[in-house]
């Protein structure tokens, strides 16, 4: 068998071999570059004011709202007011055709006249029979029959008069009058329409008190009570709040939307300048501790054991850490934080579901400007 002779490197190949070994060693020591810090939107918690617990949308309503309807049915022949008209107590608002009811009244009056004639005859006969029975010209049973006829005629006269009174009242019901001063909030019928007794023709909003109708969530109904203070802010006057109190809370939740209807009464001179149907926001204070803070709704993240947490930027290292918090009432755009958060904390306001603990970040404000980690940023909305 032929023996293979090993190949020995020449003197000139040694430098190339050494350079290759050094290159391989250098490649093995090289590490992946550290990723750049991720930009995050941050904000500092705002102080929760007395009415920052929860905000509800509502509508300005009158405290006294009456559905006006005729007490009798008929054809509507006249409608004197429109929606938005100011009316006074006793003013005629509409009228139905009185023809049939007047005929019924005349018929009832005629029945009264007939009953009066029958009563007069029975009274005369009774007096005549009384004289004859004293003279023993008729039997006592005949006198008893006349007494019964007299009593029946008397009762028929009373019934006829009562029917005449009813017919007279019904003839007067052909005019629909305002029960109090107020504003016509809506109308539900037009002239020429045949309406039934009790069918709503107008909705009258009485003068005086004004309220805001709101719906309270079933999950937080225990945080609110009658007499609790509130603040009302009209949508057409943002930033201007007027005082009020919760006047009424429904005893049962709506079976469809599962909310409790509530009325917030405006106090003092707050009713001046308010129009029915205006949209408003009602600010109510839920259960909260002193010194509570507010953070954006989007800052709240799921925490351990079903709790809540927020991402906070560490000012020294620029990394994230999850901070468990106790939340209070949820508003339309913010959440009340009862404990667990420092007033000067840099809270991540959005995108928390894409972050992880210990991640390096580059905080920016709502104007996309870098935020220095050693300074505090303005509160949200400022």
Considering the domain 38-49+290-364 in this protein, what is its CATH number? 2.40.420.20
| Residue among 216, 208, 215 nearest 267 (CA) | 208
Quote the pLDDT of residue 242: 83
The CATH superfamily holding the domain 54-63+208-284 is Efflux pump adaptor protein, beta barrel domain (2.40.30.170)
Lowest mean pLDDT among 174-183, 231-240, 284-293: 284-293
Quote the pLDDT of residue 310: 93
The 10s digit of each residue's pLDDT in 62-86 is: 888 888 999 888 888 888 888 888 8
Quote the pLDDT of residue 309: 92
CATH of 74-96+174-205, one of 1.10.10.10, 3.40.50.1400, 3.40.190.10, 2.40.50.100: 2.40.50.100
Report the share of the chain in percent with pLDDT over 70. Answer: 83
- Average pLDDT score over the chain: 81
Considering the domain delimited by 99-172, tell me its CATH architecture.
Orthogonal Bundle (1.10)
- pLDDT of 205 higher than 80: yes
The 10s digit of each residue's pLDDT in 263-309 is: 998 876 655 667 778 888 888 865 445 567 888 888 999 988 888 99
Residue ranges per domain, the chain? 38-49+290-364, 54-63+208-284, 74-96+174-205, 99-172
């Amino acid at each position: 068998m032929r023996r293979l002779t090993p190949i020995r490197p020449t003197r000139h190949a040694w430098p190339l071999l050494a350079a290759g070994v050094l290159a391989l060693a250098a490649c093995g020591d090289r590490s992946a570059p550290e990723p750049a810090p991720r930009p995050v939107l941050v904000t500092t918690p705002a102080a929760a004011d007395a009415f920052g617990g929860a905000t509800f949308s509502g509508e300005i309503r009158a405290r006294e709202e009456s559905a006006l309807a005729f007490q009798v049915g008929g054809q509507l022949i006249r409608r004197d007011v429109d929606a938005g008209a100011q009316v006074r107590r006793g003013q005629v608002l509409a009228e139905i055709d009185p023809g049939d009811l007047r005929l019924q009244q005349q018929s009832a009056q005629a029945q009264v006249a007939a009953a009066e004639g029958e009563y007069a005859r029975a009274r005369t006969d009774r007096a005549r029979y009384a004289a004859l029975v004293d003279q023993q010209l008729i039997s006592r049973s005949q006198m008893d029959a006349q007494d019964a006829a007299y009593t029946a005629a008397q009762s028929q006269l009373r019934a006829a008069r009562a029917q005449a009174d009813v017919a007279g009242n019904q003839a007067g019901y052909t005019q629909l009058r305002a029960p109090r001063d107020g504003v016509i909030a809506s109308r539900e019928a037009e002239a020429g329409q045949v309406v039934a007794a009790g069918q709503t023709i107008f909705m009258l909003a009485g003068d005086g008190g004004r309220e805001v109708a709101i719906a309270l969530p079933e999950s937080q109904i225990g945080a609110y009570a009658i007499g609790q203070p509130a603040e009302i802010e009209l949508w057409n006057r943002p930033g201007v709040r007027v005082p009020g109190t919760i006047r009424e809370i429904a005893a049962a939740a709506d079976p469809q939307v599962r909310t409790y209807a509530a009325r917030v009464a405006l106090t003092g001179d707050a009713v001046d300048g308010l129009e029915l149907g205006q949209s408003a926001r009602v600010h109510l204070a839920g259960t909260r501790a002193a010194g509570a803070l507010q953070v954006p709704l989007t800052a709240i993240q799921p925490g351990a054991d079903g709790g809540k947490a927020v991402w906070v930027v560490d000012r020294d290292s620029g990394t994230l850490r999850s901070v468990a918090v106790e939340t209070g009432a949820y508003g339309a755009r913010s959440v009340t934080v009862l404990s667990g958060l420092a007033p000067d904390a840099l809270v991540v306001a959005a995108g928390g579901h894409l972050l992880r603990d210990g991640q390096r970040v580059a905080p920016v404000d709502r104007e996309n400007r870098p935020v220095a980690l050693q300074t505090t940023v303005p509160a949200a909305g400022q």
